[in-house]
A and B are shown apart, each in its own frame.
Chain A
Protein backbone atom coordinates (compact mmCIF):
# COMPACT_ATOMS: atom_id res chain seq x y z
CA UNK A 1 0.00 0.00 0.00
CA UNK A 2 1.25 3.41 -0.85
CA UNK A 3 -0.08 4.77 2.37
CA UNK A 4 2.52 5.17 5.10
CA UNK A 5 0.01 4.72 7.89
CA UNK A 6 -2.77 2.30 8.73
CA UNK A 7 -6.29 3.54 7.94
CA UNK A 8 -7.55 6.37 10.09
CA UNK A 9 -8.99 5.21 13.38
CA UNK A 10 -10.33 8.57 14.56
CA UNK A 11 -13.92 7.78 13.69
CA UNK A 12 -14.13 4.28 15.06
CA UNK A 13 -17.05 3.58 17.38
CA UNK A 14 -16.45 3.43 21.09
CA UNK A 15 -15.32 0.08 22.45
CA UNK A 16 -17.60 -1.61 25.05
CA UNK A 17 -17.21 0.24 28.32
CA UNK A 18 -15.24 3.07 26.74
CA UNK A 19 -16.43 6.56 27.65
CA UNK A 20 -16.17 9.78 25.67
CA UNK A 21 -13.53 12.13 27.06
CA UNK A 22 -14.84 14.83 29.38
CA UNK A 23 -14.37 18.54 28.81
CA UNK A 24 -13.47 21.07 31.49
CA UNK A 25 -16.35 23.29 30.55
CA UNK A 26 -19.91 22.16 31.29
CA UNK A 27 -22.12 25.09 30.28
CA UNK A 28 -22.35 27.62 27.44
CA UNK A 29 -21.31 31.22 28.05
CA UNK A 30 -24.15 33.78 27.94
CA UNK A 31 -22.79 35.15 24.64
CA UNK A 32 -22.91 31.71 23.03
CA UNK A 33 -26.45 31.18 24.30
CA UNK A 34 -27.49 34.50 22.79
CA UNK A 35 -25.85 33.45 19.50
CA UNK A 36 -27.81 30.20 19.48
CA UNK A 37 -31.05 32.03 20.27
CA UNK A 38 -30.42 34.37 17.33
CA UNK A 39 -29.89 31.42 14.99
CA UNK A 40 -33.05 29.71 16.22
CA UNK A 41 -35.04 32.87 15.49
CA UNK A 42 -33.78 33.03 11.89
CA UNK A 43 -34.85 29.56 10.78
CA UNK A 44 -38.38 28.24 10.33
CA UNK A 45 -37.76 25.46 12.87
CA UNK A 46 -35.64 25.52 16.03
CA UNK A 47 -34.24 22.07 15.25
CA UNK A 48 -32.29 23.68 12.38
CA UNK A 49 -30.06 25.30 15.01
CA UNK A 50 -28.58 21.90 15.93
CA UNK A 51 -25.62 22.01 13.54
CA UNK A 52 -24.73 25.68 14.12
CA UNK A 53 -25.04 25.17 17.89
CA UNK A 54 -22.67 22.20 17.73
CA UNK A 55 -20.17 24.37 15.84
CA UNK A 56 -20.47 26.96 18.61
CA UNK A 57 -20.10 24.20 21.22
CA UNK A 58 -16.92 22.99 19.56
CA UNK A 59 -15.54 26.51 19.67
CA UNK A 60 -16.50 27.02 23.33
CA UNK A 61 -15.77 23.60 24.80
CA UNK A 62 -12.70 22.83 22.68
CA UNK A 63 -14.35 19.69 21.38
CA UNK A 64 -17.85 18.23 21.29
CA UNK A 65 -17.94 16.42 24.62
CA UNK A 66 -21.03 14.79 26.13
CA UNK A 67 -21.44 17.89 28.29
CA UNK A 68 -21.34 20.03 25.14
CA UNK A 69 -24.03 17.89 23.51
CA UNK A 70 -26.20 18.16 26.62
CA UNK A 71 -25.69 21.92 26.69
CA UNK A 72 -26.76 22.15 23.03
CA UNK A 73 -29.90 20.08 23.71
CA UNK A 74 -30.75 22.30 26.68
CA UNK A 75 -30.11 25.54 24.80
CA UNK A 76 -32.36 24.59 21.88
CA UNK A 77 -34.88 22.56 23.88
CA UNK A 78 -34.54 19.33 21.91
CA UNK A 79 -33.82 15.73 23.01
CA UNK A 80 -30.23 14.92 24.00
CA UNK A 81 -30.39 11.77 21.89
CA UNK A 82 -31.03 13.80 18.76
CA UNK A 83 -28.00 15.99 19.42
CA UNK A 84 -25.83 12.92 20.09
CA UNK A 85 -27.01 11.35 16.83
CA UNK A 86 -26.20 14.47 14.85
CA UNK A 87 -22.86 15.14 16.54
CA UNK A 88 -21.63 11.61 15.90
CA UNK A 89 -22.78 11.62 12.27
CA UNK A 90 -20.65 14.54 11.07
CA UNK A 91 -16.88 14.26 10.98
CA UNK A 92 -16.09 17.91 11.65
CA UNK A 93 -17.31 17.65 15.23
CA UNK A 94 -14.35 16.45 17.24
CA UNK A 95 -15.47 14.03 19.91
CA UNK A 96 -12.07 14.04 21.63
CA UNK A 97 -9.62 16.84 22.45
CA UNK A 98 -7.47 18.09 19.61
CA UNK A 99 -4.32 20.16 19.66
CA UNK A 100 -4.27 23.93 19.53
CA UNK A 101 -3.44 23.44 15.88
CA UNK A 102 -5.39 20.66 14.25
CA UNK A 103 -3.69 19.65 11.00
CA UNK A 104 -5.96 17.91 8.52
CA UNK A 105 -4.27 16.35 5.52
CA UNK A 106 -6.31 15.48 2.45
CA UNK A 107 -5.25 12.14 1.01
CA UNK A 108 -7.97 11.67 -1.54
CA UNK A 109 -7.32 10.84 -5.18
CA UNK A 110 -6.32 14.24 -6.63
CA UNK A 111 -4.06 15.05 -3.68
CA UNK A 112 -2.79 11.44 -3.56
CA UNK A 113 -1.68 11.70 -7.19
CA UNK A 114 0.40 14.72 -6.24
CA UNK A 115 2.11 13.33 -3.17
CA UNK A 116 -0.36 13.51 -0.28
CA UNK A 117 0.97 10.29 1.26
CA UNK A 118 4.45 11.78 1.58
CA UNK A 119 2.98 14.97 2.99
CA UNK A 120 0.98 13.10 5.63
CA UNK A 121 4.07 11.20 6.59
CA UNK A 122 6.03 14.43 6.89
CA UNK A 123 3.29 16.07 8.97
CA UNK A 124 3.29 13.12 11.36
CA UNK A 125 7.05 13.17 11.59
CA UNK A 126 7.29 16.91 12.27
CA UNK A 127 4.45 17.07 14.77
CA UNK A 128 5.28 13.78 16.43
CA UNK A 129 1.67 12.62 16.41
CA UNK A 130 -0.27 10.15 14.34
CA UNK A 131 -3.78 10.61 12.95
CA UNK A 132 -6.52 10.16 15.51
CA UNK A 133 -4.16 9.63 18.43
CA UNK A 134 -4.81 12.84 20.30
CA UNK A 135 -2.76 15.97 20.69
CA UNK A 136 1.01 16.06 21.09
CA UNK A 137 2.50 16.20 24.58
CA UNK A 138 2.77 19.99 24.48
CA UNK A 139 -0.87 20.22 23.37
CA UNK A 140 0.06 22.11 20.22
CA UNK A 141 -0.54 19.61 17.43
CA UNK A 142 -3.00 16.98 16.37
CA UNK A 143 -3.28 15.33 12.98
CA UNK A 144 -6.23 13.98 11.05
CA UNK A 145 -6.49 12.41 7.65
CA UNK A 146 -9.46 13.86 5.77
CA UNK A 147 -11.23 12.91 2.59
CA UNK A 148 -11.35 16.12 0.56
CA UNK A 149 -10.67 19.81 1.14
CA UNK A 150 -11.83 20.99 -2.31
CA UNK A 151 -8.32 22.02 -3.23
CA UNK A 152 -7.93 19.31 -5.87
CA UNK A 153 -6.34 21.64 -8.41
CA UNK A 154 -3.74 22.86 -5.97
CA UNK A 155 -3.13 19.81 -3.83
CA UNK A 156 -1.79 18.25 -1.77
CA UNK A 157 -3.57 20.29 0.89
CA UNK A 158 -3.30 20.72 4.61
CA UNK A 159 -5.89 22.53 6.64
CA UNK A 160 -4.69 24.04 9.90
CA UNK A 161 -7.80 24.67 11.99
CA UNK A 162 -9.80 26.51 9.31
CA UNK A 163 -6.98 27.79 7.19
CA UNK A 164 -6.09 25.87 4.03
CA UNK A 165 -2.53 25.61 2.81
CA UNK A 166 -1.89 23.98 -0.53
CA UNK A 167 0.71 23.25 -3.19
CA UNK A 168 3.11 21.62 -0.79
CA UNK A 169 6.36 20.79 -2.45
CA UNK A 170 8.94 20.64 0.28
CA UNK A 171 9.51 20.16 3.96
CA UNK A 172 10.50 23.79 4.39
CA UNK A 173 7.05 25.02 3.59
CA UNK A 174 5.52 22.74 6.20
CA UNK A 175 8.01 23.94 8.80
CA UNK A 176 7.24 27.56 7.84
CA UNK A 177 3.54 26.95 8.39
CA UNK A 178 4.20 25.29 11.75
CA UNK A 179 6.50 28.12 12.84
CA UNK A 180 3.91 30.70 11.83
CA UNK A 181 1.29 28.84 13.87
CA UNK A 182 3.53 28.88 16.93
CA UNK A 183 4.04 32.63 16.54
CA UNK A 184 0.25 33.09 16.38
CA UNK A 185 0.76 34.59 12.96
CA UNK A 186 -2.26 33.25 11.11
CA UNK A 187 -5.53 34.52 9.71
CA UNK A 188 -8.35 35.41 12.14
CA UNK A 189 -10.70 32.80 10.71
CA UNK A 190 -8.26 30.07 11.69
CA UNK A 191 -8.37 30.85 15.40
Chain B
Protein backbone atom coordinates (compact mmCIF):
# COMPACT_ATOMS: atom_id res chain seq x y z
CA UNK B 1 0.00 0.00 0.00
CA UNK B 2 2.67 2.38 -1.04
CA UNK B 3 0.52 5.34 -1.87
CA UNK B 4 -1.27 5.38 1.44
CA UNK B 5 0.33 6.08 4.75
CA UNK B 6 -0.40 3.00 6.77
CA UNK B 7 1.53 3.92 9.85
CA UNK B 8 0.52 6.85 11.99
CA UNK B 9 3.09 9.55 12.29
CA UNK B 10 2.66 11.87 15.23
CA UNK B 11 4.48 14.74 13.52
CA UNK B 12 7.33 15.46 15.82
CA UNK B 13 8.60 18.92 15.11
CA UNK B 14 12.08 20.11 15.49
CA UNK B 15 12.67 23.84 15.49
CA UNK B 16 15.64 26.22 15.71
CA UNK B 17 17.52 25.43 18.88
CA UNK B 18 15.96 21.98 19.37
CA UNK B 19 18.50 19.51 20.68
CA UNK B 20 20.68 22.23 22.22
CA UNK B 21 21.08 23.13 25.87
CA UNK B 22 18.17 25.54 25.62
CA UNK B 23 15.71 22.99 24.25
CA UNK B 24 17.26 19.57 24.93
CA UNK B 25 15.55 16.55 23.45
CA UNK B 26 15.57 13.95 26.17
CA UNK B 27 12.42 11.88 25.73
CA UNK B 28 12.12 12.46 21.99
CA UNK B 29 15.73 11.56 21.39
CA UNK B 30 15.85 9.47 18.28
CA UNK B 31 12.32 10.46 17.36
CA UNK B 32 11.64 10.15 13.70
CA UNK B 33 14.26 7.39 13.47
CA UNK B 34 12.18 4.35 12.63
CA UNK B 35 15.10 2.00 13.33
CA UNK B 36 15.51 3.20 16.90
CA UNK B 37 13.49 0.27 18.20
CA UNK B 38 16.42 -1.99 17.33
CA UNK B 39 18.58 -2.46 20.39
CA UNK B 40 21.80 -1.96 18.45
CA UNK B 41 20.71 1.36 16.97
CA UNK B 42 19.58 2.60 20.38
CA UNK B 43 22.85 1.54 21.99
CA UNK B 44 25.14 2.88 19.31
CA UNK B 45 23.41 6.13 18.41
CA UNK B 46 21.63 7.22 21.56
CA UNK B 47 23.74 6.09 24.53
CA UNK B 48 21.28 3.26 25.09
CA UNK B 49 21.39 1.30 28.35
CA UNK B 50 24.37 3.35 29.61
CA UNK B 51 22.26 4.76 32.44
CA UNK B 52 20.88 1.31 33.28
CA UNK B 53 24.35 -0.21 33.57
CA UNK B 54 25.45 2.66 35.80
CA UNK B 55 22.28 2.41 37.92
CA UNK B 56 22.71 -1.30 38.52
CA UNK B 57 26.07 -0.55 40.13
CA UNK B 58 24.41 1.85 42.57
CA UNK B 59 22.41 0.99 45.66
CA UNK B 60 18.65 1.11 44.89
CA UNK B 61 18.19 3.92 47.41
CA UNK B 62 20.88 5.97 45.63
CA UNK B 63 18.85 5.75 42.41
CA UNK B 64 15.74 6.96 44.24
CA UNK B 65 17.79 9.81 45.73
CA UNK B 66 18.95 10.78 42.25
CA UNK B 67 15.33 10.91 41.11
CA UNK B 68 14.45 13.06 44.11
CA UNK B 69 17.36 15.38 43.32
CA UNK B 70 16.10 15.77 39.74
CA UNK B 71 12.80 17.09 41.09
CA UNK B 72 10.91 15.46 38.21
CA UNK B 73 7.14 15.51 38.60
CA UNK B 74 4.95 12.82 37.06
CA UNK B 75 4.04 13.58 33.47
CA UNK B 76 0.73 11.72 33.47
CA UNK B 77 -1.34 14.62 34.72
CA UNK B 78 -1.24 15.03 38.48
CA UNK B 79 2.39 16.17 38.63
CA UNK B 80 3.27 14.25 41.78
CA UNK B 81 7.05 14.16 42.49
CA UNK B 82 8.35 10.92 41.00
CA UNK B 83 11.26 10.36 43.41
CA UNK B 84 8.92 10.72 46.37
CA UNK B 85 6.48 8.25 44.82
CA UNK B 86 9.27 5.73 44.37
CA UNK B 87 10.36 6.17 47.98
CA UNK B 88 6.87 5.22 49.20
CA UNK B 89 7.40 1.62 48.16
CA UNK B 90 7.84 -0.50 51.29
CA UNK B 91 11.27 -2.00 51.90
CA UNK B 92 11.84 -5.63 52.80
CA UNK B 93 12.32 -6.33 56.48
CA UNK B 94 13.61 -9.48 58.18
CA UNK B 95 10.01 -10.29 59.12
CA UNK B 96 8.46 -9.62 55.77
CA UNK B 97 9.45 -9.75 52.12
CA UNK B 98 7.31 -7.92 49.58
CA UNK B 99 6.56 -8.71 45.96
CA UNK B 100 6.70 -5.27 44.36
CA UNK B 101 5.50 -4.31 40.88
CA UNK B 102 6.17 -1.38 38.60
CA UNK B 103 3.37 -0.48 36.20
CA UNK B 104 3.81 1.80 33.21
CA UNK B 105 0.63 3.66 32.35
CA UNK B 106 0.43 3.73 28.56
CA UNK B 107 -3.35 4.04 28.40
CA UNK B 108 -3.21 7.33 26.58
CA UNK B 109 -6.87 8.11 26.05
CA UNK B 110 -7.33 11.79 26.77
CA UNK B 111 -8.44 13.78 23.72
CA UNK B 112 -5.68 16.19 22.76
CA UNK B 113 -2.94 13.95 24.14
CA UNK B 114 -0.74 11.94 21.83
CA UNK B 115 2.76 12.11 23.34
CA UNK B 116 3.16 8.62 24.79
CA UNK B 117 2.48 7.14 21.39
CA UNK B 118 5.57 8.87 19.99
CA UNK B 119 7.78 7.49 22.77
CA UNK B 120 6.39 3.98 22.29
CA UNK B 121 6.79 4.23 18.57
CA UNK B 122 10.22 5.81 18.25
CA UNK B 123 11.89 5.25 21.57
CA UNK B 124 10.61 1.99 23.10
CA UNK B 125 14.03 1.02 24.44
CA UNK B 126 14.31 4.23 26.43
CA UNK B 127 11.03 3.33 28.13
CA UNK B 128 12.28 -0.22 28.78
CA UNK B 129 15.55 1.17 30.16
CA UNK B 130 13.59 3.53 32.42
CA UNK B 131 11.48 0.64 33.64
CA UNK B 132 14.55 -1.47 34.40
CA UNK B 133 16.09 1.40 36.39
CA UNK B 134 12.76 1.97 38.19
CA UNK B 135 12.45 -1.75 38.85
CA UNK B 136 15.94 -1.83 40.34
CA UNK B 137 15.37 1.31 42.44
CA UNK B 138 12.25 -0.21 43.98
CA UNK B 139 13.46 -3.83 43.80
CA UNK B 140 10.43 -4.94 41.83
CA UNK B 141 9.76 -8.47 40.72
CA UNK B 142 7.84 -7.64 37.56
CA UNK B 143 7.06 -4.63 35.43
CA UNK B 144 3.89 -4.21 33.40
CA UNK B 145 3.28 -1.91 30.48
CA UNK B 146 -0.45 -1.29 30.23
CA UNK B 147 -1.14 0.00 26.73
CA UNK B 148 -4.44 1.11 25.29
CA UNK B 149 -5.91 -1.55 23.02
CA UNK B 150 -5.89 0.60 19.90
CA UNK B 151 -2.08 0.72 19.88
CA UNK B 152 -1.75 -2.79 18.46
CA UNK B 153 1.10 -1.92 16.12
CA UNK B 154 3.02 -0.38 19.01
CA UNK B 155 2.45 -3.45 21.16
CA UNK B 156 4.07 -5.65 18.52
CA UNK B 157 7.02 -3.28 18.33
CA UNK B 158 7.38 -3.09 22.10
CA UNK B 159 7.20 -6.88 22.43
CA UNK B 160 10.00 -7.17 19.87
CA UNK B 161 12.08 -4.56 21.71
CA UNK B 162 11.50 -6.40 25.00
CA UNK B 163 12.67 -9.65 23.45
CA UNK B 164 15.84 -7.92 22.25
CA UNK B 165 16.44 -6.66 25.79
CA UNK B 166 15.89 -10.19 27.16
CA UNK B 167 18.32 -11.63 24.62
CA UNK B 168 20.92 -9.04 25.64
CA UNK B 169 20.55 -10.09 29.27
CA UNK B 170 18.95 -6.79 30.40
CA UNK B 171 15.79 -8.59 31.46
CA UNK B 172 15.22 -12.01 32.95
CA UNK B 173 17.19 -13.91 35.56
CA UNK B 174 20.28 -12.46 37.27
CA UNK B 175 20.41 -9.25 35.24
CA UNK B 176 24.04 -8.38 34.42
CA UNK B 177 25.27 -10.50 37.30
CA UNK B 178 23.47 -8.50 40.00
CA UNK B 179 21.46 -11.50 41.19
CA UNK B 180 18.27 -9.57 40.54
CA UNK B 181 15.45 -11.18 38.51
CA UNK B 182 13.07 -8.89 36.66
CA UNK B 183 10.93 -9.00 33.56
CA UNK B 184 8.45 -6.70 31.83
CA UNK B 185 5.09 -7.86 30.50
CA UNK B 186 2.83 -6.00 28.09
CA UNK B 187 -0.89 -5.81 28.83
CA UNK B 188 -3.38 -4.62 26.25
CA UNK B 189 -6.39 -2.57 27.34
CA UNK B 190 -9.73 -2.74 25.60
CA UNK B 191 -11.03 0.77 25.15
CA UNK B 192 -11.88 2.49 28.41
CA UNK B 193 -10.58 5.98 29.13
CA UNK B 194 -11.01 5.45 32.86
CA UNK B 195 -8.22 2.85 32.79
CA UNK B 196 -5.77 5.75 32.64
CA UNK B 197 -6.64 6.35 36.31
CA UNK B 198 -4.11 4.36 38.31
CA UNK B 199 -6.43 2.23 40.43
CA UNK B 200 -8.79 1.57 37.51
CA UNK B 201 -5.73 0.56 35.51
CA UNK B 202 -4.74 -1.89 38.24
CA UNK B 203 -8.22 -3.39 38.22
CA UNK B 204 -8.04 -3.75 34.47
CA UNK B 205 -4.56 -5.28 34.71
CA UNK B 206 -5.99 -7.88 37.06
CA UNK B 207 -8.58 -8.79 34.43
CA UNK B 208 -11.51 -6.93 35.97
CA UNK B 209 -13.73 -4.05 34.92
CA UNK B 210 -11.70 -0.84 34.96
CA UNK B 211 -13.41 0.69 37.95
CA UNK B 212 -11.38 2.95 40.25
CA UNK B 213 -10.74 1.74 43.78
CA UNK B 214 -11.24 3.53 47.05
CA UNK B 215 -8.02 5.13 48.28
CA UNK B 216 -6.48 4.42 50.78
CA UNK B 217 -5.00 1.86 50.54
CA UNK B 218 -2.81 3.54 47.92
CA UNK B 219 -1.12 1.38 45.29
CA UNK B 220 2.23 1.69 47.12
CA UNK B 221 0.64 -0.29 49.95
CA UNK B 222 -1.78 -2.48 48.00
CA UNK B 223 -1.68 -2.28 44.23
CA UNK B 224 -1.60 -4.84 41.44
CA UNK B 225 -2.52 -8.34 42.61
CA UNK B 226 -2.67 -7.03 46.18
CA UNK B 227 1.04 -6.19 46.24
CA UNK B 228 2.92 -2.86 46.59
CA UNK B 229 2.90 -1.18 43.20
CA UNK B 230 4.09 2.04 41.62
CA UNK B 231 2.27 3.40 38.58
CA UNK B 232 4.18 5.83 36.36
CA UNK B 233 3.34 7.42 33.04
CA UNK B 234 5.25 6.47 29.86
CA UNK B 235 6.83 9.91 29.62
CA UNK B 236 7.97 9.87 33.26
CA UNK B 237 9.68 6.50 32.85
CA UNK B 238 11.24 7.54 29.54
CA UNK B 239 12.77 10.53 31.35
CA UNK B 240 14.58 8.27 33.85
CA UNK B 241 17.59 7.26 31.67
CA UNK B 242 18.45 10.88 30.72
CA UNK B 243 18.18 11.88 34.39
CA UNK B 244 20.60 9.16 35.44
CA UNK B 245 22.93 9.97 32.54
CA UNK B 246 23.15 13.68 33.27
CA UNK B 247 22.67 13.46 37.04
CA UNK B 248 19.67 14.62 39.03
CA UNK B 249 21.16 18.00 39.95
CA UNK B 250 21.97 18.82 36.34
CA UNK B 251 18.47 17.81 35.22
CA UNK B 252 16.98 20.04 37.92
CA UNK B 253 18.56 23.06 36.24
CA UNK B 254 16.17 22.63 33.30
CA UNK B 255 12.75 24.19 33.52
CA UNK B 256 11.79 26.17 36.61
CA UNK B 257 12.89 25.46 40.20
CA UNK B 258 9.71 23.63 41.22
CA UNK B 259 8.89 22.25 37.77
CA UNK B 260 12.10 20.78 36.52
CA UNK B 261 13.00 19.16 33.25
CA UNK B 262 11.47 18.99 29.82
CA UNK B 263 8.02 17.92 28.79
CA UNK B 264 6.41 16.86 25.53
CA UNK B 265 3.61 19.21 24.55
CA UNK B 266 1.12 18.02 21.96
CA UNK B 267 -0.49 20.86 20.04
CA UNK B 268 -3.70 20.14 18.14
CA UNK B 269 -6.73 21.95 16.76
CA UNK B 270 -6.64 25.15 14.74
CA UNK B 271 -2.88 25.59 14.33
CA UNK B 272 -0.70 25.44 11.24
CA UNK B 273 1.72 22.81 12.53
CA UNK B 274 -0.04 20.57 15.01
CA UNK B 275 2.40 18.12 16.55
CA UNK B 276 4.71 17.30 19.42
CA UNK B 277 7.26 19.67 20.88
CA UNK B 278 9.64 18.80 23.69
CA UNK B 279 10.33 21.91 25.75
CA UNK B 280 11.53 22.87 29.22
CA UNK B 281 8.68 23.34 31.67
CA UNK B 282 7.76 26.98 32.09
CA UNK B 283 7.87 27.75 28.37
CA UNK B 284 5.13 30.34 27.66
CA UNK B 285 2.04 28.96 25.96
CA UNK B 286 1.89 31.67 23.29
CA UNK B 287 5.46 30.82 22.25
CA UNK B 288 4.49 27.17 21.79
CA UNK B 289 1.30 27.90 19.93
CA UNK B 290 2.32 30.91 17.85
CA UNK B 291 6.03 30.41 17.25
CA UNK B 292 6.43 26.66 17.20
CA UNK B 293 3.03 25.46 16.03
CA UNK B 294 2.69 28.36 13.60
CA UNK B 295 -0.34 30.08 15.10
CA UNK B 296 -3.88 29.89 13.80
CA UNK B 297 -4.38 27.77 10.71
CA UNK B 298 -7.59 29.50 9.71
CA UNK B 299 -6.42 33.09 9.62
CA UNK B 300 -8.78 33.91 12.46
CA UNK B 301 -7.33 34.58 15.86
CA UNK B 302 -7.46 31.94 18.56
CA UNK B 303 -10.18 32.36 21.15
CA UNK B 304 -9.62 29.46 23.55
CA UNK B 305 -6.84 27.02 24.38
CA UNK B 306 -7.18 23.98 26.59
CA UNK B 307 -3.74 23.75 28.22
CA UNK B 308 -3.60 20.16 29.44
CA UNK B 309 -5.78 17.70 27.59
CA UNK B 310 -9.57 17.59 27.41
CA UNK B 311 -10.08 17.64 31.18
CA UNK B 312 -8.32 20.95 31.81
CA UNK B 313 -10.41 24.12 32.12
CA UNK B 314 -10.12 26.35 29.05
CA UNK B 315 -8.01 29.49 28.85
CA UNK B 316 -9.23 32.55 27.02
CA UNK B 317 -7.08 35.19 25.39
CA UNK B 318 -5.96 36.90 28.57
CA UNK B 319 -4.18 33.75 29.77
CA UNK B 320 -2.44 32.82 26.53
CA UNK B 321 0.89 34.03 27.92
CA UNK B 322 0.75 31.49 30.77
CA UNK B 323 4.04 29.65 31.36
CA UNK B 324 3.40 25.96 30.92
CA UNK B 325 4.32 24.43 34.25
CA UNK B 326 2.20 22.63 36.81
CA UNK B 327 2.04 25.44 39.38
CA UNK B 328 1.48 28.47 37.17
CA UNK B 329 -1.19 26.81 35.06
CA UNK B 330 -2.94 25.77 38.28
CA UNK B 331 -2.64 29.26 39.73
CA UNK B 332 -4.32 30.64 36.61
CA UNK B 333 -7.30 28.33 37.15
CA UNK B 334 -6.56 25.38 34.91
CA UNK B 335 -4.21 22.41 35.03
CA UNK B 336 -1.15 21.31 33.11
CA UNK B 337 -2.59 17.78 32.96
CA UNK B 338 -1.21 15.67 30.18
CA UNK B 339 0.36 18.55 28.25
CA UNK B 340 -2.02 18.48 25.29
CA UNK B 341 -2.80 21.97 24.00
CA UNK B 342 -6.08 22.12 22.08
CA UNK B 343 -6.45 25.38 20.17
CA UNK B 344 -9.78 26.80 19.01
CA UNK B 345 -10.20 29.80 16.74
CA UNK B 346 -12.81 32.51 17.17
CA UNK B 347 -15.32 30.82 14.88
CA UNK B 348 -15.49 27.77 17.09
CA UNK B 349 -18.87 27.42 18.75
CA UNK B 350 -18.11 27.01 22.43
CA UNK B 351 -21.47 25.37 23.08
CA UNK B 352 -20.65 22.67 20.55
CA UNK B 353 -17.10 22.30 21.84
CA UNK B 354 -18.32 21.97 25.42
CA UNK B 355 -21.00 19.50 24.38
CA UNK B 356 -18.38 17.43 22.56
CA UNK B 357 -16.16 17.40 25.64
CA UNK B 358 -18.97 16.58 28.07
CA UNK B 359 -20.26 13.86 25.78
CA UNK B 360 -16.87 12.23 26.08
CA UNK B 361 -17.08 12.15 29.89
CA UNK B 362 -20.68 10.96 29.83
CA UNK B 363 -19.60 8.13 27.53
CA UNK B 364 -16.46 7.24 29.48
CA UNK B 365 -17.84 7.38 33.02
CA UNK B 366 -17.38 3.91 34.50
CA UNK B 367 -20.76 4.25 36.19
CA UNK B 368 -19.56 3.40 39.66
CA UNK B 369 -20.32 6.76 41.35
CA UNK B 370 -23.77 8.27 40.93
CA UNK B 371 -22.70 11.95 40.74
CA UNK B 372 -20.43 11.23 37.78
CA UNK B 373 -22.66 8.67 36.03
CA UNK B 374 -25.84 10.72 36.27
CA UNK B 375 -24.29 14.19 36.37
CA UNK B 376 -22.24 13.90 33.19
CA UNK B 377 -25.24 12.55 31.29
CA UNK B 378 -27.41 15.32 32.68
CA UNK B 379 -24.92 17.98 31.61
CA UNK B 380 -24.80 16.42 28.16
CA UNK B 381 -28.58 16.46 27.83
CA UNK B 382 -28.86 20.09 28.92
CA UNK B 383 -26.07 21.15 26.56
CA UNK B 384 -27.68 19.14 23.77
CA UNK B 385 -30.93 21.04 24.11
CA UNK B 386 -29.17 24.42 24.28
CA UNK B 387 -27.27 23.46 21.14
CA UNK B 388 -30.55 22.55 19.46
CA UNK B 389 -32.17 25.87 20.23
CA UNK B 390 -34.39 24.52 22.97
CA UNK B 391 -32.44 25.86 25.89
CA UNK B 392 -33.83 28.05 28.66
CA UNK B 393 -31.97 30.73 30.59
CA UNK B 394 -32.37 28.65 33.79
CA UNK B 395 -30.33 25.94 32.13
CA UNK B 396 -27.17 27.95 32.63
CA UNK B 397 -27.78 28.14 36.37
CA UNK B 398 -28.64 24.46 36.33
CA UNK B 399 -25.32 23.63 34.64
CA UNK B 400 -23.45 25.86 37.09
CA UNK B 401 -25.17 24.17 40.03
CA UNK B 402 -24.41 20.66 38.73
CA UNK B 403 -20.64 20.90 38.70
CA UNK B 404 -20.12 21.42 42.46
CA UNK B 405 -22.26 18.32 42.98
CA UNK B 406 -20.08 16.19 40.72
CA UNK B 407 -16.58 17.50 41.37
CA UNK B 408 -14.76 16.05 44.39
CA UNK B 409 -17.72 13.80 45.10
CA UNK B 410 -16.49 10.75 43.26
CA UNK B 411 -13.91 8.03 43.77
CA UNK B 412 -11.69 9.20 40.95
CA UNK B 413 -11.08 12.50 39.17
CA UNK B 414 -13.21 11.74 36.08
CA UNK B 415 -16.12 13.70 37.51
CA UNK B 416 -13.83 16.65 38.26
CA UNK B 417 -12.40 16.38 34.77
CA UNK B 418 -15.84 16.88 33.28
CA UNK B 419 -16.48 19.90 35.48
CA UNK B 420 -13.30 21.69 34.31
CA UNK B 421 -14.39 22.36 30.72
CA UNK B 422 -18.01 22.96 31.79
CA UNK B 423 -17.23 25.59 34.43
CA UNK B 424 -14.60 27.38 32.40
CA UNK B 425 -16.78 27.53 29.29
CA UNK B 426 -19.65 28.97 31.31
CA UNK B 427 -17.44 31.52 33.02
CA UNK B 428 -15.51 32.67 29.99
CA UNK B 429 -17.99 32.23 27.16
CA UNK B 430 -21.34 32.64 28.89
CA UNK B 431 -22.42 35.14 26.24
CA UNK B 432 -22.29 32.38 23.63
CA UNK B 433 -24.57 30.13 25.65
CA UNK B 434 -26.97 33.05 26.21
CA UNK B 435 -26.92 33.85 22.50
CA UNK B 436 -27.84 30.25 21.69
CA UNK B 437 -30.78 30.42 24.08
CA UNK B 438 -32.14 33.84 23.24
CA UNK B 439 -31.46 34.00 19.50
CA UNK B 440 -31.69 30.27 18.69
CA UNK B 441 -28.63 30.77 16.54
CA UNK B 442 -24.93 30.31 17.00
CA UNK B 443 -22.87 33.22 18.28
CA UNK B 444 -19.80 32.12 16.36
CA UNK B 445 -21.29 31.88 12.89
CA UNK B 446 -19.50 29.71 10.39
CA UNK B 447 -18.12 27.63 13.19
CA UNK B 448 -15.27 25.36 12.25
CA UNK B 449 -17.00 22.57 14.10
CA UNK B 450 -20.06 23.08 11.96
CA UNK B 451 -20.13 20.72 9.04
CA UNK B 452 -22.69 22.68 7.11
CA UNK B 453 -25.26 20.01 7.83
CA UNK B 454 -28.30 20.94 9.84
CA UNK B 455 -29.68 24.32 10.79
CA UNK B 456 -27.61 26.43 13.06
Contacts and interface: CB of A to CB of B under 8 A. Distances in A.
Interface in A157-187: 157, 159, 162-167, 173, 176-177, 180, 185-187
A85 B209 CA distance: 7
A47 B384 CA distance: 40
Nearest to A188: B156
A30 interface: no
Contacts, number: 207
Contact of B448 (A44, A91, A113, A186): A113
Contacts of A187: 1, 6-7, 153
A89 B210 contact: yes
A117 to B, nearest CB: 4
Contacts of B387: 1
Contacts of B8: 151, 154, 157, 164, 166
B208 A44 contact: no
Interface in B399-456: 447-454, 456
B453 A189 contact: no
Interface residues of B, number: 84
Interface in B361-406: 363-364, 366, 384, 387-388
A118 B451 CA distance: 6
B357 interface: yes
Interface stretch (A14-22, A48-56, A134-142): A48-56
Interface residues on A, range: 35 or more
A164 B182 CA distance: 33
B38 interface: no
Contacts of B348: 113
B33 interface: no
Interface in B103-138: 108-114, 116-117
A113 B449 contact: yes
Interface stretch (B60-68, B183-191, B247-255, B281-289): B183-191
Given A1-B352, A153-B276, A92 B359 contact: no
A117 B310 CA distance: 18
A7 B209 CA distance: 24
Interface stretch (B49-57, B142-150, B212-220, B325-333): B142-150
Interface of B: 1, 3-11, 99, 108-114, 116-117, 142, 148-153, 156, 185, 187-193, 204-210, 224-225, 227, 266-270, 274-276, 306, 310, 340, 342-344, 348-349, 352-353, 355-357, 359-360, 363-364, 366, 384, 387-388, 447-454, 456
